[in-house]
Amino acid sequence: MATEQPILRIEGLRKNYGAVAALQGVDIDIQRGEVLGLIGPNGSGKSTLFDCCTGLQKSDAGRVLLNGVDITGWPMNRIAREGRFLRSFQKTVVFPTLDSYENLVLAGQMFAFPSVLSTFWIGPAARRRIAALRERAAELIEVSGLSRVAHLPAGHMSGGQQKLLQFASMLMPKPELILLDEPLAGINPVLIEKVIDCITHANGTLGITFVVIEHNTDVLMSLSHRVVVLHQGAKLADDTPEAVVCNPQVVEAYLGG
The answer for 212, left when phi > 0, alpha when psi is -120 to 50, beta otherwise, is beta
Burial 133-146 (b: 16+ CB within 10 A, else e): beebbebbbebbbb
How many other C-beta atoms lie within 10 A of the C-beta of residue 240?
A: 13
Give the integer Cα–Cα distance in Å for 61 and 11: 9
Q: Is 79 in the site for ligand ADP (CB under 6 A)?
A: no
From Mg ion, ligand ADP, none, which one binds at residue 174 (CB under 5 to 8 Å depending on kind)?
Answer: none
Q: Is 89 in the site for ligand ADP (CB under 6 A)?
A: no
List of residues contacting Mg ion (CB under 5 A): 47
In the complex, the smallest distance separating the C-beta of residue 47 from Mg ion, rounded to whole angstroms, is 3
Of the pair 40, 175, the CB lying nearest ligand ADP is at 40
Q: In this structure, are residues 225 and 50 in contact, taking their beta carbons and an 8 Å threshold?
A: no
Question: Binders of ligand ADP among 148-167, rule CB under 6 A?
Answer: none
- Residue among 214, 233, 210 nearest 30 (CA): 210
From 39-47, 91-99, 121-129, 168-176, span contacting ligand ADP (CB under 6 A): 39-47
Q: Is 42 in the site for ligand ADP (CB under 6 A)?
A: yes
Give the integer Cα–Cα distance in Å for 209 and 30: 8
In the complex, the smallest distance separating the C-beta of residue 41 from ligand ADP, rounded to whole angstroms, is 7
Give the integer Cα–Cα distance in Å for 230 and 237: 7
Cβ-count burial of 184 within 10 angstroms (0-12 exposed, 13-18 middle, 19+ buried)?
Answer: buried
Of the pair 47, 59, the CB lying nearest Mg ion is at 47
Interface pick for ligand ADP out of 40, 108, 145, 175 (rule CB under 6 A): 40
Interface pick for ligand ADP out of 4, 5, 20, 159 (rule CB under 6 A): 20
SS3 33: coil
Of the pair 42, 77, the CB lying nearest ligand ADP is at 42
In the complex, the smallest distance separating the C-beta of residue 42 from ligand ADP, rounded to whole angstroms, is 4
Alpha helices in 31-70 (DSSP H): 46-53
DSSP per-residue string spanning 107-174 = HHHHHH--SSGGGT---HHHHHHHHHHHHHHHHHHHHTT-GGGTTSBGGGS-HHHHHHHHHHHHHTT-
Interface pick for ligand ADP out of 25, 33, 43, 153 (rule CB under 6 A): 43
From Mg ion, ligand ADP, none, which one binds at residue 20 (CB under 5 to 8 Å depending on kind)?
Answer: ligand ADP
Q: Is 47 in the site for ligand ADP (CB under 6 A)?
A: yes
From 42-50, 63-71, 74-82, 95-103, span contacting ligand ADP (CB under 6 A): 42-50
Binding site for ligand ADP (CB under 6 A): 17, 20, 22, 40, 42-48
